[in-house]
Amino acid sequence: MAASQRSRCSAAAVAVELDEDDHGQHQQQEAEELRRGPWTVDEDLTLVNYIADHGEGRWNSLARAAGLKRTGKSCRLRWLNYLRPDVKRGNFTADEQLLILDLHTRWGNRWSKIAQHLPGRTDNEIKNYWRTRVQKHAKQLNCDANSKRFKDAMRYLWMPHLVDADAHRARLLHAAAATHHHAALSSAAGAGGVLTSSSSADSFATAESYDDGAAGLYAAGVHAGEMLVVDGAGDCWAAAAAQEASQGMWPSAAADHHQQQHQSAAAARHMHQLAAAGGHHQFQDAELSGWVQGFSEGIITENFWALEDIWKIQ
């Protein structure tokens, strides 16, 4: 057990020793038996098997019945955050990042509420994402993550940036697919061949291996022109986006995250489908969907920053 966890254990033991009432002896025994710290594979299996057989129930009694020397709280947390079959692992997709950014501007640190809108994601994961990525970004911008300044930056700069980066990916995928489709048809017509899975994968890889930094540049440039309307600003903003992308601050938008490529590609395909269907991203929340539709149509023009302000902050 790690030192910190040992100290936590001993602190708990001391607390229990001081609590010598009628049930003191029994409670002390129970508390001393309780395990803390990282879960073992055996414990995980025990919990999973027990829940598979009996379902979720009252966590304290579940922990006892399953023979786990853990608190009910600990079991609940382990199940909800890690063992539940529908828990989604890995990096957040652009869609999810957009959703988190937007929902946080609405509800603040209501992580569980935000998590309800991201299937498979836990409040803990979202909270960690916010604290490690977003707050770090706010720090670099030299402003508070809860300030209106930062929220404006997210809303009018980063969110469109995320959308555009993925939309651009989608365009590339679409173009690559169309090219491939055309080539395959020609090839099949000429040689009587069939479309192979490897050639299909090649066309996909062509789009996926597209330089992410360049995608970021492109996307940022487009928005610098569309939203900021500052002569020559596109290059500056694009450079900043590329820099941030190279630093991996906003992974799915442009950073070089190999692990995320499949998810991003999926998101891009999704965006492309939506674009083809009318360009409106349909989130679960109708109000949110309307909001995204709003900025995708460029109707949000008020309250955005001038580039000068951004560079002052940078």
Partner DNA sequence: AATAGTCGCAACCGCCGCAGC
Partner DNA sequence: TGCTGCGGCGGTTGCGACTAT
Whose tokens are 């009587």? That residue is 192
φ, ψ at 56 (rounded to 5°)? -75, 150
Check residue 5 for interaction with DNA (CB under 7 A): yes
Spell out the alpha helix ranges (H) of 37-191.
Answer: 41-54, 59-65, 72-78, 94-107, 111-115, 123-129, 135-140, 148-153, 159-191
Q: Which of 54, 106, 110, 312 binds DNA (CB under 7 A)?
A: 110
Minimal distance in Å, beta carbon 92 to DNA?
A: 9
- Which residues have CB under 8 Å from 293's CB, separation 6+? 279, 280, 281
Whose tokens are 């490529």? That residue is 261
Distances (CA, A) of 68 to 12, 58, 73, 84, 300: 18, 14, 12, 17, 54
Q: Which is nearer to DNA, 3 or 189 (CB)?
A: 3
In angstroms, the CA 311 to CA 285 distance is: 34
Distances (CA, A) of 215 to 28, 169, 242: 60, 7, 9
> Tokens for 249?
């601050």
Check residue 106 for interaction with DNA (CB under 7 A): no
Q: Which of 16, 30, 69, 72 binds DNA (CB under 7 A)?
A: 72
Minimal distance in Å, beta carbon 107 to DNA?
A: 8
Q: Which of 98, 104, 117, 129 binds DNA (CB under 7 A)?
A: 129
Whose tokens are 């061949």? That residue is 193
Minimal distance in Å, beta carbon 56 to DNA?
A: 8
State the number of binding residues for DNA (CB under 7 A). 45
Minimal distance in Å, beta carbon 223 to DNA?
A: 24
Minimal distance in Å, beta carbon 238 to DNA?
A: 22
Q: Which amino acid would we find at residue 196?
A: T
Check residue 12 for interaction with DNA (CB under 7 A): yes
Check residue 133 for interaction with DNA (CB under 7 A): yes
Minimal distance in Å, beta carbon 108 to DNA?
A: 8
Q: Which is nearer to DNA, 136 or 149 (CB)?
A: 136
Q: Which amino acid would we find at residue 251?
A: P
CB of 267 closer than 8 Å to CB of 95:
yes
- Which residues have CB under 8 Å from 23's CB, separation 6+? none
Footprint (CB under 7 A) of DNA, residues 80-99? 81-82, 91
Q: Which is nearer to DNA, 137 or 168 (CB)?
A: 137
Minimal distance in Å, beta carbon 250 to DNA?
A: 11
> Tokens for 247?
């630093």
Q: Which stretch binds DNA (CB under 7 A): 5-13, 155-163, 166-174, 200-208?
A: 5-13
Minimal distance in Å, beta carbon 22 to DNA?
A: 11
Footprint (CB under 7 A) of DNA, residues 32-61? 35-39, 57-61
Q: Which is nearer to DNA, 102 or 125 (CB)?
A: 125
Check residue 136 for interaction with DNA (CB under 7 A): yes
In angstroms, the CA 305 to CA 201 distance is: 42
Applying CB under 7 A, which residues contact DNA?
A: 2-5, 7-8, 11-12, 35-39, 57-62, 70, 72-74, 76-78, 81-82, 91, 109-113, 123-125, 127-129, 131-133, 136, 248
